[in-house]
Amino acid sequence: MRRVPGVSYGLDVTNTPESSRGIELRALSKSYGEVKAVRSIDLSIPRGETLALLGPNGAGKSTTIDMILGLTRPDSGTVSLFGSTPADAVDAGLVGGMLQAGSLLSYLSVRELVAMVASLYPHPLTVEEVLELTGISDLADRSTTKLSGGQSQRVRVAIALVADPELLVLDEPTAALDVEGRRDFWSSMRAVAASGKTIVFATHYLEEADAYADRIVLMARGRVVADGPPTEIKGKVGGRTIRATLPAVAVADVAALTGVAHVEQHGDTFTITCSDATSSDTALRALLSTYPGARDIEVRGAGLEEAFLNLTGDDTNESDHGAT
């Protein structure tokens, strides 16, 4: 048995350099057979920060999270949580996690389930406190099998929080929710973030990362491709795409329009990439005045996947693939 309950894993504040007291990932790598899920990630997360791991499916977010939680052993590299190993931090009740997918134990009320999990920890919050914090006090006596998607996600957060952890890890917490459920979920998370906990969450929604994180780490194909405050990341991945049908027009002429970053042609259909909203507005005006015959016009935010490809300069025929 790897765990030794009752032993204190001292966080010697006086002798520990400031940098090692948050979360430190050093040269972290993990492969599943031929698939390189995570390739040498370095990341420092100071205490109290809310960090979003943003990336498309297969970027390596879940694998990274599993390694932070000690569920997956890295092939190489280290994870340090407040100066301890993940296993020791988990035993000390410093870590709360909400994993992807999964449902709640049946034949229990919400209150009973939270109390059951609380009983495993050395110094848990009271059940009432954690239900209050996650905004589900009114669901306390409801059976765990009679909850909406959004409600059960909040119960799962309560389960992750009942240890009163320093670090809260959420793996795509809103993936299964509709727009309203997502909004409800995050509004209840504000109180948690305000309580000073370090929060790491994975998502593939840019809006979500932008709205709720202090910092966004962008992952693609197992690597960190960008790391910075939301405004900065948004500028990098917030490109727009214009599609239009333009009969008998040359690619070079379209590419020459102001605001246009890149053009592709398929028959009469042109796909025009612009770096941000302002330049796509400019490009669209130029397009319409130059080619009044343009039709089937469609403007949309570039998908994360495309944005990542632009950022990394990778093309799709790279031989190795990511993993979830």
Per CB under 8 A, residues contacting other proteins are 1, 3, 5, 32, 66, 69-72, 90-93, 95-97, 99, 101-108, 112-113, 115-117, 119-122, 159, 163
- Of the pair 50, 144, the CB lying nearest other proteins is at 144
- Of the pair 61, 236, the CB lying nearest other proteins is at 61
DSSP secondary-structure letter at 177?
-
Exposure string of 192-228, with b = 16+ CB inside 10 Å and e = fewer, is bbeeebbbbbbbbebebbbebbebbbbbbbbbbbbbe
The residue count for the chain: 324
Q: Provide, rounded to whole angstroms, the least separation between the CB of residue 96 and other proteins.
A: 8
- Of the pair 222, 230, the CB lying nearest other proteins is at 222
Q: Count the helix, strand and coil residues of the chain and give each as a percent rounded to the nearest 5.
A: 35, 25, 40
- Of the pair 11, 104, the CB lying nearest other proteins is at 104
Q: Provide, rounded to whole angstroms, the least separation between the CB of residue 45 and other proteins.
A: 17
- Of the pair 100, 290, the CB lying nearest other proteins is at 100
- What are φ and ψ of residue 256, in 5° steps? -80, -10
Residue 144's alpha-carbon distances to 133, 185, 247, 253, in angstroms, are 18, 17, 58, 61
Residue 266 DSSP SS3: strand
Neighbours of 263 (CB within 10 A): 18
Cβ proximity of 214 and 51 under 8 Å: yes
Q: Provide, rounded to whole angstroms, the least separation between the CB of residue 34 and other proteins.
A: 15
- Of the pair 1, 252, the CB lying nearest other proteins is at 1
- Of the pair 222, 259, the CB lying nearest other proteins is at 222
Burial label for 164, CB within 10 Å (0-12, 13-18, 19+), is buried
Q: Provide, rounded to whole angstroms, the least separation between the CB of residue 251 and other proteins.
A: 46
Neighbours of 13 (CB within 10 A): 10
Q: Provide, rounded to whole angstroms, the least separation between the CB of residue 92 and other proteins.
A: 8
DSSP secondary structure of 54-107: E--TTBSHHHHHHHHHTSS--SEEEEEETTB-HHHHHHTT-EEEE-SS----SS
- Of the pair 94, 237, the CB lying nearest other proteins is at 94
Q: Provide, rounded to whole angstroms, the least separation between the CB of residue 156 and other proteins.
A: 8
d(CA 191, CA 199): 12
Q: Provide, rounded to whole angstroms, the least separation between the CB of residue 163 and other proteins.
A: 7
